[in-house]
Structure 1
Amino acid sequence: MKTHSTNYFDTFIEVAEDTKASQGTVPPCKNGKKTVAYLQYELIAGYPYQYTSDDVLFQIHAERNAIAEADYSAAREQFFSKGQPCFRASPLTKTYGFGVHSNEEGKMAVYGLESPEYEQLVSDEKIKKVKAMKATK
């Protein structure tokens, strides 16, 4: 079975050109439930450079679908048997003002648009830059 990956390496995903955000903002919960954006933020900001994009996306999928940890291996293989949207399409980069940096191992951290780290990553010529997808068409 072919597996697809959303991982980036040595890459910085800049916020979308049309974002209304001027700084990184923690995504809100809705009706007391954690949104996908909030779960992404919680995992990446809470554990910088510990998870790859694939790890984060699968973990959220598993949590939202109540997949038992014993079934993770098969469920992960099934999940990545078809393409998944990468973090260029994440609400963190499109709406909430966060850039996502993936290091040489593909592990991620988030940086608010207003942070000195964000500016440093944008100006680092050794790191590949890609823009998040536009929030509007």
Structure 2
Amino acid sequence: MDLHYYDTLIAVADDCPVDGAVVPALRGGKETVAVIQFEMISGAPGGLTQEDVLFETWLRRQESDVPSAFERAELRARFFSRSQACLRASPLPKKYGWGLLFDTAGRVTLCPMGSVEYQEIIAGEVLGITVLKAMRSKRA
């Protein structure tokens, strides 16, 4: 199963409740999916693919010991053996105002909705970038 985007911006959802990018906070002292994904992507801009983010998010939310490299590879294969939601369903572009910008190699960086880069891509001023909207939180 290929879960990659190339030269693509996942734009903020139409029903995103914020006017600018907001750093997600812990909820009840625990890391949320948004916190985990924000930390991963902002900590390694252009270093992770969508598959890396999805798998590592799932792995960090498991209440288990850190797996060995062999166990990690096995868990990753098992994780992707079934259908997974893509990052268009991530809370970052749905609720927190962060666009997800994928480069030609399928690696992701955060692109805040208020930034010049985001506005230029949305306006179609950057050639070669496909724009896809994040999924809405509520039905239209």
- Identify the residue that residue 45 of structure 1 maps to in structure 2: 42
What secondary structure, in the 3-state scheme, does the structure 1 residue paired with 2:72 have?
helix
| 1:26-83 deviations in Å (ceiling 9; x for gaps) | 1110111111110000011121100001001111212222351331111000000011
Which residue, out of 110, 120, 128, partners 1:126?
A: 128
Matched-pair contact (CA < 8 Å) for 1:5–1:83? no
Which residue, out of 29, 33, 52, partners 1:32?
A: 29
Aligned residue pairs total 134
- Identify the residue that residue 4 of structure 2 maps to in structure 1: 7
State, as a whole percentage, how many aligned pairs show the same letter.
37
What 5-or-longer segments of structure 1 have no aligned partner? none
- Identify the residue that residue 101 of structure 2 maps to in structure 1: 101
Q: Distance in 1 between matches of 2:127 and 2:17?
A: 26
- Identify the residue that residue 68 of structure 1 maps to in structure 2: 67
- Aligned-partner residue type, residue 96 of structure 2: Y
What 5-or-longer segments of structure 2 have no aligned partner? none
Q: Distance in 2 between matches of 1:41 and 1:14?
A: 15
Q: Distance in 1 between matches of 2:61 and 2:6?
A: 27
Q: Distance in 2 between matches of 1:21 and 1:6?
A: 28
Instruction: For residue 6 of structure 1, report the CA deviation from its aligned partner.
Output: 2.5
Matched-pair contact (CA < 8 Å) for 1:5–1:80? no
1:53-64 matches, cutoff 5 A: 53-64=50-61
Q: TM-score, normalising length from structure 2?
A: 0.90
Q: Distance in 2 between matches of 1:101 and 1:121?
A: 10
